[in-house]
Structure 1
Amino acid sequence: MKERLLVIVGPTAVGKTEMSIQLAKRFNGEVVSGDSMQIYRGLNIGTAKITADEMENIPHHMIDIIDPLESFSVTQYQREARTIITEINERGKLPILVGGTGLYVHAITHDYQFTNIESDEAFREEMEIFAEQYGNDALHKKLQYIDLKSYKSIHPNNRRRVIRALEVIKRTGKPFSNFQTKREKSIYDAVFIGLTMDREVLYDRINTRIDKMIAKGLFNEARHLYDNNLKDSQAAQAIGYKELFLYFDGELSKEEAILLLKRNSRRYAKRQYTWFKNKMDITWFDMTRGKNKKKLEIMKYVAGKLNCLEKH
């Protein structure tokens, strides 16, 4: 018998966190973060990490589990998150996977396999040097003609994964995408819901959220990473930090860095929605207007789905 799982996805700033708390209280749930950056301790403001007060005593998992200097692969994430989901089910509670990192969510919910091909440290170092000299976009471009599927699915700023893809291709002579097989159906008895919103309304929410982040001390948080030589770490690649590093380097003014951060965040939201829409079978709820009414609609939908699972 498959384990139960409720999955909430959607673009940044659409209201996933608030919705997850409401659902967790209603259905006796615990939240599992599906965000690739909230795993890092100390990266609170820039990752829009939920606060203790906002949790409202709902247990949260896969948050603050490693230090920024440490790396953490999607394979590790898959293994640990699945273990936690099993433990939540065994306690008779409902695991609620919440996040906007498509690859991480998909790796948990579906039979997503990762290659065990050994690493080539010399090649990795060569690619790191190339990226430092010519930029992430130039490195990413290397994938375009040898593995178009990986080129489209891996973001240029995910340097670590781009290098891994190139490394696997070099060692095997086969596209990296060939080693990542996905089953059509989830490995869980899962209920998938997505939150969406009118683009202009969402973009206004993103801009407002960033203004609030800055007021809370985002520049100080980013400066701490910068001053501790963490700007090239996996943790610091998140939108919200790398834009401010350009200001610290003197390449942009403070105002230019903020505008770039807002633009990149809006673009990321668009990519998130496109990814989930194309990759997963999700029931979408538009949160633009009538939010309270929409919440009741979501509650009713989830209750109906969970009742169906209990009858099987």
Structure 2
Amino acid sequence: MKKTVIVVVGPTAVGKTQLSIEIAKAFNGEIISGDSMQVYKGMDIGTAKITMEEMQEIPHYMLDIKEPNEEFSVADFQYNVQKYIDDISDHNHIPIIAGGSGLYIQAALYNYNFSNQKRDTTLTKRLEERIVNEGSAPLYNYLKEIDPQQASKVHPNNHRRLIRAIEIYETTGMTMSEYQENQEKESPYNPIFIGLEMDRKLLYNRINERIDRMMENGLLDEVRSLFNSGFSTCQSMRAIGYKEFIPYFKGEQSLEESIEQLKQNSRRYAKRQYTWFKNKMNVTWYSLTPSTINEKIRNILEDLAGMLEEK
């Protein structure tokens, strides 16, 4: 018997946290964070990490398991999430994954193996040095030549993913896209995907308002503490909500510019998340507005009850 996993997906700020709590209360569930940045300690406000009060005593996993200067890969995420799915299922509770890191969630649920390819540290260093000396454009253009499909998914400034895609090709002769196409098509689990969507204008307003609240709640001090601790070049600080303030701390732009950049990056990320889940996963979507969230959650719980009976 395959283990059932409920997966709550959708763009940032749409209401996934609230829904996951209600699902857990209704169906004896425990929640696994599907956000690749909430694993880092001390990165609470910028990642919109759930608070102890918001948890309502529901067990949560994949939070605060890494220091900000530690690396965390898709393979790490996959290993941990699969372990928690097994543990939760083994004591007859339902695992619920809630989050927006599409590739990470897909890798865990469909047993991806591309990230197990061993890293060539010499090659990694050489590629990193090229970016320092030449910028990212030459490597990005190279990726467009060898794997245009993957290049379309990677921002030129996302150096980690850019380097990884080239590493895969250089060490195996197979592109990242080919690796992904060769993955298992069927999940070893019974995933039930529930997606939340919202009119784009309403969602963008929610994103902007959330960032304003983050600033009021101390986001700038949180990022400053990480910056002053020497973490500015770490993987964790490349996350949206953190990287935007580094130029401000360096005196290269104003605080207002950093906040506006954060809002813009968050809106763009929400669009990419939505596109990913639409194209990659078999999701049952529910459209909501800020005023209909509670009513829609009741509808989702009713639908889920039927879906779980079918499993």
TM-score (norm. length: structure 2): 0.95
Is 1:283 equivalent to 2:284 in the alignment?
Answer: yes
Compute the displacement of 1:132 (Å): 3.4
Name the counterpart of 2:250. 249
Is 1:77 equivalent to 2:72 in the alignment?
Answer: no
Residue-by-residue CA offset, 1:246-285 (whole Å, 9 max, x unaligned): 1111221111111111001000000000011011110000
Instruction: Quote the Cα distance in structure 1 between the aligned partners of 2:58 and 2:156.
Output: 35
Residue-by-residue CA offset, 1:265-312 (whole Å, 9 max, x unaligned): 000000000011011110000012522221111011111000111xxx
Compute the displacement of 1:188 (Å): 1.0
Is the CA contact 1:30–1:94 (under 8 Å) kept in the aligned structure 2?
A: yes
Instruction: Quote the Cα distance in structure 2 between the aligned partners of 1:217 and 1:138.
Output: 39
Name the counterpart of 1:152. 152
- What SS is found at the alignment partner of 1:96? strand
Name the counterpart of 1:307. 309
Name the counterpart of 2:19. 19
Q: Structure 2 matches for 1:110-149, cutoff 5 A? A: 110-114=110-114, 116-136=116-136, 139-149=139-149
Compute the displacement of 1:96 (Å): 0.2
Runs ≥4 residues deviating over 6 A: none
Residue-by-residue CA offset, 1:137-161 (whole Å, 9 max, x unaligned): 6644431111122212334444223
Is 1:206 equivalent to 2:207 in the alignment?
Answer: yes
TM-score (norm. length: structure 1): 0.94
Q: What one-letter code is carried by the residue in structure 1 that aligns with 2:130? A: F
Is the CA contact 2:78–2:111 (under 8 Å) kept in the aligned structure 1?
A: no
Is 1:219 equivalent to 2:239 in the alignment?
Answer: no
Instruction: Quote the Cα distance in structure 2 between the aligned partners of 1:238 and 1:217.
Output: 17
Gaps of 5+ in 2: none
Name the counterpart of 2:98. 98
Is the CA contact 1:157–1:237 (under 8 Å) kept in the aligned structure 2?
A: no
CA gap of 1:156–1:9, structure 2 versus 1, over 3 A, is: farther
Q: What one-letter code is carried by the residue in structure 2 that aligns with 1:175? A: T
Name the counterpart of 2:32. 32
Q: What one-letter code is carried by the residue in structure 2 that aligns with 1:76? A: D
CA RMSD of aligned residues (A): 1.6
Residue-by-residue CA offset, 1:145-199 (whole Å, 9 max, x unaligned): 1112221233444422321211121223331222233333322112111000000
CA gap of 1:115–1:11, structure 2 versus 1, over 3 A, is: closer
Q: Structure 2 matches for 1:26-65, cutoff 5 A? A: 26-65=26-65
CA gap of 1:93–1:272, structure 2 versus 1, over 3 A, is: same
Is the CA contact 1:11–1:270 (under 8 Å) kept in the aligned structure 2?
A: yes
- What SS is found at the alignment partner of 2:95? strand
Is the CA contact 2:74–2:115 (under 8 Å) kept in the aligned structure 1?
A: no
